[in-house]
């Protein structure tokens, strides 16, 4: 986390410097300087080449950096950067110099703005799709109002108002960065306490007592550390001079100290260079190998120290400490005889009221999540029910197909539909096929039996039924279809 935070801090500090003083783009990480520190000359060291940029965390970071890069390529605008003070920047005087920028740079800035507007519109559309509003017309002009760093009324060209908006928005957003970090840390501490209390609820009385004793022991162990010097005081800087720079504390010189730790040689202490000065103090309190030491708290302590020094030394509130500001601060009583520094364990990050509200918020969140879980379970059950219905329909369809295939194999066709009008007798097709084998009563071989076969039947009526059965004929007349009795009584009748 510390590494990621340092990257963010370097980038944020650099952009703050450009937006307020507009002197340099990025700062370098403070590292030990390999040089003969006893022979340090007063000559200004050459500014080192700026490293590759890193993300500031702003959602318009890329747009901001591209605008900066192209403005710095214009000679006229670059000269104005070094001759404009902070008040003029705040009043928008620097933005007016955009009218004198070369045509090539202005054309490129127009293109950058059109690309940014297109990106924002894409984000708006994507958000709408996620929220399920595909069929709703989008008023892009109204939605673009939320992005204050550009003039949405003119999405085609980059004008003076665009530069003024960009400078103001980026400055405000970067200045609010520390405030947001404090809020995040406060939430972190409250959540940590909430989790601890919830864990205690799962323990029996004896285990809870042991856990509380262990917690108190860790707190006492963390608070048992060497005295922490007041950040930015003479004692604190002398300790850095002696332990980090390897110099005699009796030879401490503020101007020499400033030059030693102005790692990029731009004549200012930026936020990252200041924070590097507090490493020795923080090592007195925090050790990553100790159970009682929280490294998230260490970074919050570093931020508190840096903010305190900035408030004490940064007289023009440009978030940078110049050499003159630093030398003036070293002559103050606060520098020579500072008060003791209260660390985080002496200053709780939240109040009881804030903790109560946080707990209520967590309860509400849990209820919302439970309700969502119930809704999702209902949706799942409904989907499973629909799936069962689909499976049943699939089985029925498969059975119907198999039945049709069997009918095709047996070459059996269903009788056609017959429409009957009035008293007409429907004509029966394929009746013979519907009778069992040997029962075709209207077949030619059974319509007109020979006379010699009828005579025995007439002579021996008692054997008629038996002979009829042998010849495949119905044994009694009432088994024959209507009209067939007449055929057997008078076969020669027309």
**10 Å Cβ neighbour count for 86?**
15
Average pLDDT of the chain?
76
Q: Give me the pLDDT at residue 321, please.
A: 93
List beta partners, residue 322. 268
Span 391-424, pLDDT tens digits: 999 999 999 999 998 888 887 555 565 555 555 5
Span 182-241, pLDDT tens digits: 999 999 999 999 999 999 999 999 999 999 999 999 999 999 999 999 999 999 999 999
Backbone angles phi, psi at 161, to 5 degrees: -65, -35
List all residues 6 or more positions away from 13 whose beta carbon is below 8 Å from its beta carbon: 27, 270, 271, 272, 319
State how far the Cα of 393 lies from the Cα of 488, in Å rounded to an integer. 55
Q: Give me the pLDDT at residue 434, please.
A: 44
Between the alpha carbon of residue 57 and those of residues 53, 62, 70, the distances in Å are 12, 10, 21
Span 129-187, pLDDT tens digits: 776 655 555 555 566 666 778 887 888 889 888 888 888 888 778 778 788 889 999 99
Q: What is the average per-residue pLDDT within 25-46?
A: 39
Q: Give me the pLDDT at residue 135, please.
A: 57
State how far the Cα of 196 lies from the Cα of 348, in Å rounded to an integer. 16
Q: Give me the pLDDT at residue 31, please.
A: 36
Would you mind telling me the total number of residues written for the chain in this entry?
494
Q: Give me the pLDDT at residue 86, please.
A: 65
140 with 121: CB under 8 angstroms?
A: yes
Q: Give me the pLDDT at residue 431, please.
A: 41
State how far the Cα of 277 lies from the Cα of 339, in Å rounded to an integer. 19
List beta partners, residue 321. 269
**10 Å Cβ neighbour count for 446?**
17
424, two tokens:
């007409």
State how far the Cα of 224 lies from the Cα of 220, in Å rounded to an integer. 6
**10 Å Cβ neighbour count for 323?**
15
137 vs 341: which has the higher pLDDT? 341
Q: Give me the pLDDT at residue 427, please.
A: 52
pTM: 0.57
């Amino acid at each position: 986390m510390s590494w990621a935070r340092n990257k963010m801090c370097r980038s944020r500090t650099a952009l703050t410097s450009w937006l307020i003083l507009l002197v340099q783009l990025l700062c370098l990480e403070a590292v030990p300087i390999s040089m003969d520190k006893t022979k340090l000359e007063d000559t200004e060291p050459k500014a080192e080449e700026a490293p590759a940029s890193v993300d500031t965390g702003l959602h318009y970071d890329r747009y901001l950096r591209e605008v900066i890069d192209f403005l710095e390529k214009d000679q006229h605008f670059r000269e104005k950067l070094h001759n404009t003070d902070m008040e003029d920047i705040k009043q928008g005087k620097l933005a007016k110099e955009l009218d004198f920028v070369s045509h090539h740079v202005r054309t490129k800035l127009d293109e950058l703005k059109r690309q940014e507007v297109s990106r924002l519109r894409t984000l708006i559309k994507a958000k709408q799709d996620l929220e399920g509003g595909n069929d709703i017309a989008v008023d892009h002009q109204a939605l673009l109002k939320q992005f204050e760093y550009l003039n949405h009324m003119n999405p085609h060209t980059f004008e003076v108002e665009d530069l003024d908006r960009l400078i103001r928005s980026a400055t405000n957003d970067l200045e609010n960065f520390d405030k947001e970090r404090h809020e995040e840390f406060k939430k972190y501490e409250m959540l940590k306490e909430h989790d601890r209390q919830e864990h205690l609820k799962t323990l029996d009385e004896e285990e809870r007592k042991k856990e509380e004793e262990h917690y108190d022991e860790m707190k006492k162990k963390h608070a048992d550390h060497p005295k922490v010097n007041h950040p930015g005081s003479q004692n604190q800087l002398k300790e850095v001079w002696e332990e980090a720079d390897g110099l005699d504390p009796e030879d401490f010189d503020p101007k020499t100290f400033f030059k030693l730790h102005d790692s990029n040689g731009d004549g200012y202490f930026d936020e990252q260079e200041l924070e590097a000065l507090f490493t020795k103090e923080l090592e007195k309190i925090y050790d990553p190998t100790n159970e009682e030491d929280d490294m998230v708290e260490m970074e919050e302590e570093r931020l508190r120290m840096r903010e305190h020094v900035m408030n004490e030394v940064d007289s023009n509130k440009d978030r940078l400490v110049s050499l003159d500001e630093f030398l003036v601060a070293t002559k103050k009583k606060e520098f020579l005889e500072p008060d003791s520094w209260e660390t985080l364990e002496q200053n709780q990050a939240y109040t009881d009221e804030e903790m109560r509200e946080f707990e209520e918020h967590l309860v509400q969140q849990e209820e919302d999540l439970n309700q969502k879980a119930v809704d999702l379970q209902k949706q799942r059950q409904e989907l499973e029910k629909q799936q069962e219905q689909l499976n049943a329909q699939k089985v029925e369809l498969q059975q119907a197909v198999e039945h049709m295939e069997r009918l095709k194999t047996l070459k059996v066709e269903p009788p056609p539909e017959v429409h009957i009008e009035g008293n007409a007798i429907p004509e029966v097709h394929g009746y013979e096929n519907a009778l069992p084998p040997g029962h075709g009563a209207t077949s030619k071989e059974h319509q007109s039996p020979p006379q010699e076969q009828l005579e025995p039947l007439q002579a021996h009526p008692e054997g008629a039924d038996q002979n009829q059965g042998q010849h495949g004929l119905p044994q009694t007349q009432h088994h024959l279809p209507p009209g067939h009795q007449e055929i057997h009584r008078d076969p020669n009748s027309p």
